[in-house]
Amino acid sequence: MGKERIGYRRLYDAIACSLADREEMHIAFPMGDLHIEVYLGPKPRLGITVSRSEKYIVPGEASLVITAEYKKDAVESSYPRHFFTEILCSKLVDVSENLSQGFHAKEPSAHEELLRLAEQDAKSLKAATDLIAGKIGLRFHRQFIIEVINENFFAMRTADDYAFNHAGPGLEVLDGISLNPNGAEILRQLLEGVGQATPEAQEFGAYALAWLLRAWSERDTISKFMALFILIEIILAGYGDDPNKEKEKQEEVIQIRNLLTTHGGSEPNNLLTFFNRIMGQQRPGLASRFEKMAKQAQIDGWEADVAAFKRFNLIRNKLLHQGEQQVQLVISVGDDIKEETRQLEDIAERYVSWALFRDGVVYQSRWRALRNKRQEGEIEQ
């Protein structure tokens, strides 16, 4: 058996930071079964990769897909600043003798296997990096860890020789859209209708759509997830229990208040205040309110939307209450025979459109829009 060191590295641009009495600083220490290295200075151990790309691939245009420049000596790179914070979290793993020999012989398949082993420990390695980076930012200054430049899984051959991977920024492939005369007229009527809406409707629409605009432009998965969820919560604000249940609840509340007033002892006012505060927090959960809205909207496939939203809501609760960062924007619902895919962005777009317009023309998300709008003669592609 052989032993090899694998791990995860994160490189930060420590913008406007420096060391007062030296050029660089290196700290190494154990943390459980991990070995942690923190470097501050101009020459991070694993070098730097400078990536450039467009945000979108646009039909009919020459797009810069991605260019990457790697420099082992970061000072020689084209990156505009040259003071960094580098955090490496690594561990020793047992591997077969053949794999170890292949790695040291620089066989590509051995590189890939060791990097795969590192990626298997991504959760613990990234958690350790988050801990170290967060403490540096919290107890010293956030500018030391303000901008992530690179993150890599790596395998060390020697102190100066290593294998690593690199993931560049994501690109979105856009569709070619042409608004034809029929679509242009519908757009004109739509916008004129917005201008004639009541101030209350305009205020509600602006409040909701601001979060949709934020979600559309957001590239971070967690930020996008939360923006979409806030949007859905906004349009669910008016959904609660049905009137009959609400009436029954009010009658029960009145009875309890009377009991507290009559038999509350020496502090009935404090008990009433506490009870009122609790009752103010009692309302149906998001999942039940979404189901009520979906039943009312009767958008095609609403039952699958309800099932999907329940699962998205569980993810949201884990994110908010447990700090779970593994969010999903796409999930599958249904049984083994009929499985359907639902996207949170798709659900948010369709139901906010229904909530704002409710004119019988159910909005179709952009994953369905091109086909449907071409059939209706609104756009050309």
The string of pLDDT tens digits covering residues 361-378 is: 444 444 444 444 444 555
- Considering only CA atoms, which of 297, 301, 327, 302 is closest in space to residue 228? 327
The string of pLDDT tens digits covering residues 199-256 is: 888 888 888 889 989 998 887 888 899 999 999 999 888 776 554 555 555 666 677 7
Q: What is the pLDDT of residue 188?
A: 85
Q: Which stretches does DSSP call E strand in the chain?
A: 2-13, 25-31, 34-41, 48-52, 56-57, 67-71, 84-95, 147-156, 162-164, 172-173, 178-179, 330-334, 339-343, 379-380
Q: What is the pLDDT of residue 242?
A: 53
**Positions in the chain short of pLDDT 70:** 63-65, 168-170, 240-253, 257, 259-272, 274-284, 334-339, 359-381
Q: What is the pLDDT of residue 364?
A: 45
> Do the strands 172-173 and 330-334 form a parallel or antiparallel pair, or are they unpaired?
unpaired
pTM value is: 0.70
How many angstroms separate the CA atoms of 30 and 315, rounded?
33
Residues 6 or more apart whose CB falls under 8 angstroms from that of 45 comprise 9, 37, 39, 86, 88
Contact at 8 Å (CB) between 37 and 26? Answer: yes
